[in-house]
Chain A
Amino acid sequence: MTPSDYLSSVLLIVGAFFSLAGTLGLLRFPDVYTRLHALTKADNVGLGLVVAGLALQAESWAAAGKLLLIWLLVLLAGASVSHLVARGALQRGIQLWRR
């Protein structure tokens, strides 16, 4: 195990933790708006950390660049989707959660 192996292990495990947090949030949060919040954390941070961990191990710069491109695509998708879904839910009169 080289130092970069240790670093990427840590990044991968923290990424997996954020992914777990996203799933738990999707299962436990009370309405669609709060679930959006959980989902986008898993998208942005969870996948981002996994990609960072894998990019350290990538065999070439081209492979690392492709990993980054995939993450940026998922970010773009996540941002536009959460905006569209939240606006659509408001227009359809889905109630905001109140305690």
Chain B
Amino acid sequence: MQTLYLALALFLLLNLGAGMWRVLRGPTAADRMLAAQLFGTTAVAVLLVLAQATGNATLRDVALVFALLAAVTAVAFVRRAWPDQEVDHDSK
């Protein structure tokens, strides 16, 4: 089981790295935020798997905080940080 946990954590981490492409490309702020949202979920999964693999139960609390923050971040983005007019950052 130990090998499976570690392989799974690595696989999820690679997924996360691949998602970076969407943050770089955009094109809209919303796309970047969605990628950040996926990072949050994947990070929660990685932390839970590592908590089981290492027997370190504290990591579950870290995952709990991540899950809480994910909701707050996204609502803050939509209500505060999202500009009313989409600017095309790629055409410069």
Contacts and interface: CB of A to CB of B under 8 A. Distances in A.
Contacts of B45: 15, 19, 46-47, 50
A94 B67 contact: no
B59 to A, nearest CB: 11
B85 A92 contact: yes
21 contacts: A12-B4, A13-B4, A19-B12, A26-B34, A27-B21, A39-B38, A43-B41, A46-B45, A47-B45, A50-B8, A50-B45, A50-B48, A54-B49, A63-B60, A66-B64, A73-B67, A73-B68, A80-B75, A81-B78, A84-B78, A85-B34
A84 B74 contact: yes
Interface string A82-97: 0011001100111000
Tell me the dominant secondary structure on chain B's binding face.
helix
Contacts of B54: none
What range describes how many residues of A lie at the interface?
Answer: 35 or more
A70 B78 contact: no
A54 to B, nearest CB: 5
A64 B90 CA distance: 45
Contacts of B34: 26, 32, 35-36, 39, 85
